[in-house]
Homo-oligomer: A and B are copies of this chain.
Amino acid sequence: MSVLITNNSSKVRIKWLASVTSDAWLQQALAHPIELLIDHAHCERKAAGAALQMMFRYLCEPGLAEALSPLVREELEHFECVLEILKSRGRYLEPLHAPPYGAVLAKSIRGVEPERMLDSFLVAGLIEARSHERMSLLASNCPDIELANLYRDLLTSEARHFGIYWTLAEERFDRKVITSRLQELAAVEAETLIELHCAPRMHS
């Protein structure tokens, strides 16, 4: 799962994602760079929280904690980078109304094991994949050089994080079961993004 993307000028098509981000999203995002940056800080800390929660839930599962703990640390490093830029521009974290994206995906996680574990890996992976796609768009199109560089620096990690979740799934589940469920979840993920959210968000 090392190759996640196939490049196509500034627009990238991410393997596994069931849709390509719309131009309307990009225009909305570019028009509100600081609000998007604050939202991105929230995304990084939420990704850290979700991975830590997963690590705690399956704590005695061999091979899981040593994969997830460094991932949590990296999400927090990114959170701190974003916070630094916000502060350098006289801003800080602000409460933002969350789009339905995360809640819809969380609801798609089945409640019984081992399906719950598989879905948790795949949902987390899909969110990372979508972040990667959108950061690629921002890195190529954001006129603010500092922000474009930030997104460029972060986007490779998002792809790597998808790979970590994919590997965790592959070590524990049959490849056919994984790809079939990933396609189902990718369809849900794409559906939540069909209607553009009223506010600029990384996952709206």
Contact = CB atoms under 8 A, between A and B. Distances in A.
A66 interface: yes
A65 interface: yes
**How many copies of the shown chain assemble into the complex?**
2
B79 A69 contact: yes
A186 interface: no
B69 A80 contact: yes
Interface residues of A, number: 26
Interface stretch (A26-34, A47-55, A132-140): A47-55
A69 to B, nearest CB: 5
Interface string A132-154: 00000000000000000000000
B49 A93 contact: no
B66 A76 contact: no
